Every structure is written in C-alpha cells, then in structure tokens.
Amino acid sequence: HHVVVDGVHDFGDVSLAALDLADRILLVTTQEVPAVRSAQRCIEIFRKLGYDRKQVKLVVNRYQRSSPITRQVIEETVGMPVAATVGNDFHAVTRAVNAGTLVAEAAPRSQVATDLEALASLFRPETPGAQPRPRSFLNRIFSRTGAFHGAG
C-alpha cells in the first residue's frame, strides 16, 4: 500500500513527478550545518511548488541529543517542526545490516528500533477511518515493484 522513493537528491523531472504523487514527503536531514541549510532550501522549493505544508514531515537522522545543532536550532532554521528523530546507534544498525535483518529484529530494545517504529507511524492515516486517495496511473505503475528508488 506504500511506495517509498528514496534517494531524491535533485528536482529533475522524475523527482518532481514522484514528489507530486506523494501523500507524504519525509524530508530527512542530519545535524550538520550543510544538511540543515539544504533542508531549509528544500522547504522553500516545496513552498514555491505549492506543496501543502501538512504533507511535508521533517525527520532528523543519526540524531544525537548532545549535538550543538539541537532540534530547536533545526526547527528554527528550517522553519518547521521536527516530526521524528532516528537516533545515531551505529552498533544496532551495523548488527542488523550484517545479519541481513531489520533493526527491530537484530536490536529490538534499541533506541533506533523505537525511533523507526515512531517514524513508521507517520505513514498511518491521520484521521480514524481515513481512506487513501484513489491511485493514479503512475502510482499504480510504481507500486507494482513495491518501491521506486531514485538515483542519487
């Protein structure tokens, strides 16, 4: 029921087509100055393209509470609230990658597993009983493979 487009690093025709079809856009950033500035520019482009602010969610990956670039700094710079954070747990993620399993299986009690579950909740309908919108032709094509991965 979901198509995930990963790796959109530009605003070319394919990227824009995927973004135009999206019900939700997760803008992923990290706690480095260039990444936060890039997220700020993306939000400005989304605004110019007319995307509804409610469909864009800001996510901070590899989040560290001790970073001098805090959640508050990111929110103020980008101009929108952080919807989710995914903790920087190198060991749990590496264990899952090396085992070829999900983080929730390799390290079910880890903070990153908890964070990923919270991130997944962003894909649930926002209102009880909400029906997904009718699928467009491109949506049906992309969903046949289960996922579309952008080049990047």
Q: Which residues of 94-130 are buried (b: 16+ CB within 10 A; e: fewer)?
A: ebbeeeeeebbebbeebebbbbbeebeeeeeeeeeee
- Asked whether residue 141 carries a pLDDT value surpassing 70, the answer given is no
- CA 130 vs CA 72, 106, 125: distances in Å: 32, 33, 6
More confident site: 107 or 125: 107
> Please, what is the average pLDDT of the chain?
84
Per-residue pLDDT tens over the stretch 5-55: 777 778 888 888 889 888 889 999 999 999 999 999 999 999 999 999 999
Mean pLDDT along residues 65-87: 96
Predicted local confidence at residue 146, as pLDDT: 40
What's the pLDDT at 133?
A: 52
Residue-wise DSSP of 87-143: E--HHHHHHHHHHTS-HHHHSTTSHHHHHHHHHHGGGS-SSTTPPPPPPPHHHHHHH
Percent of the chain with pLDDT over 90: 61
What count of residues does the chain have?
Answer: 152
What pLDDT is recorded for position 140? 47
